Chains A and B, each alone.
Chain A
């Protein structure tokens, strides 16, 4: 440039200008120096500076072409956004749920160091794993091991009737009561809003309420220092010593009221085996090796449990172990309790980690179905924008610039869809909560982390969905486009087909999964469990009647619609305690599930007697009789169990087996059938926990229920009446399966809808593009059939391919899930056919509408547009 200038200056000087004039003229003729310098500077720097990229992307013109494009094809634009929004909504909802499940209990400050002490027990006849441990264990561990920083016991004993002295002694029956040690707040971080955590639960009869419950009992008054009565405890008033913030949904410990364990001496003596089992939680110091501590804890078994085992079984510890008995403690980390625990006697039913995997998978599948839709639509529409691309390239846009432009477009669509999804999520959250049956601790609204996550999701989806179409679009050659050589969508056909196949595959798998879950749940609920569930009314807390239980039952039986009444300690589906038995003269000890029952229990429940008889009034010695089930009989190994003698630590005299019943399920079908023993509960005993009543379905059930309630009221002097229907309550055992079934149903519907939405839009689009072609074919004589085949022939093939992929995957998935159950259904192959048929039919409907419309249009119209 410099030399050029000098030459020019020389020329001008030669023409007669002074040096100065020549210089000025030359510079002026050189051009706009600043613009040139900028241009040169940009050349020297790397071409990929942001400025040059934006420059290349022609950002300003972006608004005009892109926005205009959106409005011109608003139908497809709306379909795109809708499909994407639905997919993202599903993804967000399920993510919230999964996140919620994974976050259980993590709000405690020392969450990583908190463990629960579980008890393992086994002998050659079986084993169990309990979430509970012996009552003195917490104190012993704290005193023996320096690794244990704090320890607390938690005890749930069922429902109690609570009332306030001031408010006319109205009693509410409360289920959410936990008895805990004063060290509860040392281990857990439940926030005490009022009261002193160090002192609140020290004294006996101290009571802490949650904020909602403080309001329930005391309104706006200060509850501290107020008195509360517990109906069955006439010793003293309970004093409210604290108010705690409401327990968050993601805590495995759920409660409304805490009462101090010091309240009863029963819970604070030195008995190990005979005392009430409690849930023991310990807080360990930092960097403590939990496994090492676990090993050390074995010495507690020998030191404290050993002597008691000897007393009850008559064997020394060594003999007992030689006979195959094993018991031990192990530490379960707090973070594993909710999703990984399979112990019995949990405080609340927990979740299951395998369901979390399933839900997470569903979320991802749905999101990808929506993204695939987007990709398909965008690539199909590339035909429309080809000319735009061509012109842009001629005008100087680089390929990179175009790619960026199209990706930015799809990010914007994605952000719009995500905003829509966010609003939808907030709106339907109550529905979702109802679907899964639990509150979520996190919500999307007012949550900064959530909003950032959403934004990141939108950008990620936009880039993911927009990349391929952007590459396709930006690689069009202007020549081909402007000449009209562009083969609309021919090259992109394989990807479109691939994506559609993926969508169909996902849909087929989800349908099969839904049907299997529903069938298994149905099976579990309707299978013959060995007893009658229908029309059985269960009345709780008959101990309130004190000695009047027999009179009450007799009164009930006066009603012609009430056929049977029986009392018992427990019922199938509820907790069964255990007792040990030994064959007379033999050392081997058998532990069975145990129930104390009345004479009519077997008849009422419909247990089938295989041999012998049930308890009956005619046999006076039945107080020393035992009835066992088949599994128990097998455990004993008797050829003929009837008449065999047993010993039990609970009886001084020998027990006689008088009958064997057919096996029945006392727990859900997740578990194997347990050996069960039943003993007779004396008539006037008041230790029954339930009175079961069989109602005939001939009469009016409502009236019968009223009769029962009235009778109760008379006999109990107006005490609270609590009852439930057996079958409804039993179904709660399968709550998580039922929830999964419902979730799958909803999301299967949604995923198929999204896939179909995409298919419909795609077909509409191809049909409109090929309007001219269809018009010409019609003129040349093609019939409706040929045309339909032309437009939709591919789709049938795609469904078949999807089927071939989906069936094996669905098989593996369902087998994996069914492993959770001991009793499983056998999956009928028809289910697989059904799933594919459903997808095919829905496709057919989607196709037919579009195709018929395209094929019936007057070809004159489509050709005239040229």
Chain B
């Protein structure tokens, strides 16, 4: 599956809308363009832990399936 740059933005916006990340514009020096920086919120950190657990759970179940040998 190809993951392109553009796919990132809708996800970022929706995560921000849900309050899981927050953003700020940073002007590094006057010559270059401003950049937007995203950071996890407290809520986002909690959600991350949960999602990681979910993912690991699904992963381990699927693992078990891949490794199962056919029974007689």
Q: Which residues of A are in contact with B by a Cβ distance under 8 Å?
A: 1, 3-4, 6-8, 29-33, 36, 39-40, 43-44, 394, 478-479, 482-483
Chain B residues within 8 Å of A8, by CB: 5
What is the interface of chain B mostly: helix, strand, loop, or mixed? helix
Contact of B13 (CB < 8 Å), options: A33, A43, A478, A479:
A43
Alpha-carbon separation in the docked complex, A32 to B7 (Å) = 8
A39 and B13 alpha carbons, distance in the complex (Å): 10
Cα of A43 to Cα of B35 in the assembled complex, Å: 22
Q: Is B70 an interface residue (CB 8 A)?
A: no
Point out the residues of chain A lying under 8 angstroms from B53, CB to CB.
479
With known contacts A479-B57, A482-B58, A3–B6 Cβ distance under 8 A: no
User: Which partner residue on chain B sits nearest A7 by CB separation?
Assistant: B33
Contact A36 B7 (CB under 8 A): yes
Residues in B whose Cβ lies below 8 Å from that of A39: 10
Q: Is B1's beta carbon under 8 Å from chain A? A: no
Given contacts A7-B33, A43-B14, A479-B53, contact A394 B6 (CB under 8 A): no
Knowing A3-B33, A40-B10, say if A32 contacts B57 (CB, 8 Å). Answer: no
Closest to A36 in B: B6
How many residues on B have C-beta within 8 angstroms of the other chain's C-beta atoms? 19
Residues from chain B with a CB closer than 8 A to the CB of A43 are 10, 13-14, 17
Q: Are A30 and B10 interface neighbours, CB within 8 A?
A: no
Task: Give every chain A residue within 8 A of B61 (Cβ-Cβ).
Answer: 482
User: How far does the Cβ of B19 sit from chain A's closest Cβ, in whole Å?
Assistant: 13
If A3-B34, A43-B13, A43-B14 touch, whether A482 touches B57 (CB-CB below 8 Å) is yes
**Chain B interface (Cβ < 8 Å from any Cβ of A):** 4-7, 9-10, 13-14, 17, 33-36, 50, 53-54, 57-58, 61
Give Cα A7 to B32, complex, Å: 10
**Most chain B CB inside 10 Å of its own CB: which residue of A7, A33, A43:** A43
Q: Is the CB of B57 within 8 A of A483?
A: yes
Q: Nearest chain-B residue to A393 (Cβ)?
A: B54
Whose C-beta in chain A lies nearest to the C-beta of B51? A394
A30: contacting residue among B5, B17, B36, B58, CB under 8 A = B5
Q: Contact between A31 and B4 (Cβ–Cβ < 8 Å)?
A: yes
* A29 with B4: CB separation less than 8 A: yes
Q: List 11 A-B contacts (CB under 8 A).
A: A3-B35, A29-B4, A29-B5, A30-B5, A36-B7, A40-B13, A394-B54, A394-B58, A479-B50, A479-B53, A483-B57
Q: Which of A1, A6, A32 touches B9 (beta carbons < 8 Å)?
A: A1
- What chain B residues lie within 8 Å of A44 (beta carbons)? 13
Contacts known (A478-B57, A479-B54); A31 close to B10, Cβ less than 8 A: no
Chain A contacts for B17, CB-based, 8 A: 43
Give the distance in Å from the alpha carbon of A426 to the alpha carbon of B4 in the complex: 62
How far is B34's CA from A3's CA once the two chains are assembled, in angstroms? 8
Q: Are A31 and B5 in contact (CB under 8 A)?
A: yes
Given contacts A3-B35, A29-B4, A479-B53, contact A36 B10 (CB under 8 A): yes
Complex: A30 Cα to B54 Cα, angstroms = 30
Alpha-carbon gap, A7 to B7, bound state (A): 17
State in angstroms the CA–CA spacing of A78 and B36 once bound together.
58
- Alpha-carbon distance A239/B50, docked complex (angstroms): 93
Q: B7 to chain A: which residues have CB within 8 Å? A: 31, 36
Of the candidates A6, A7, A32, A478, the one whose C-beta lies within 8 Å of that of B6 is A32
- CB-defined contacts of A394 to chain B, threshold 8 Å: 54, 58
Known: A3-B35, A478-B54. A33 touches B6 (CB 8 A): yes
Q: Are A6 and B4 in contact (CB under 8 A)?
A: no
Given A478-B54, A478-B57, are A30 and B33 neighbors across the interface (CB < 8 Å)?
A: no
Residues of B within 8 A of A40 (CB): 9-10, 13
A36-B58 in contact (CB<8A): no
A6: chain B residues at CB < 8 Å are 33
CB distance from B31 to the nearest CB of A (A): 12
Chain A neighbourhood of B13, CB < 8 A: 40, 43-44
Nearest A residue to B4 by beta-carbon distance? Answer: A31
A30 CB contacts on chain B under 8 angstroms: 4-6
Q: Which B residue's beta carbon lies closest to that of A8?
A: B5
Chain B residues within 8 Å of A478, by CB: 54, 57
Q: Which residue of B lies closest to A3 (CB)?
A: B33
Q: How far is the CA of A633 from the CA of B53 in the complex (A)?
A: 95
Nearest 7 interchain pairs by C-beta: A31-B4, A31-B6, A39-B10, A30-B6, A40-B10, A43-B14, A36-B6
B6, B14, B34, B58 interface centre (most CB from chain A within 10 Å): B6
Given A29-B4, A31-B4, A478-B54, A36-B33 contact (CB < 8 Å): no
Which residues from A are CB-within-8-Å of B36?
Answer: 3
Bound CA–CA A6/B33 (angstroms): 9
Chain A neighbourhood of B50, CB < 8 A: 479
**How far is B36's CA from A31's CA once the two chains are assembled, in angstroms?**
20
Partner of B4, one of A7, A32, A482: A32
In the bound assembly, the distance between CA atoms of A8 and B4 in angstroms comes to 13
Whose C-beta in chain A lies nearest to the C-beta of B17? A43
A475 to chain B, nearest CB (A): 15
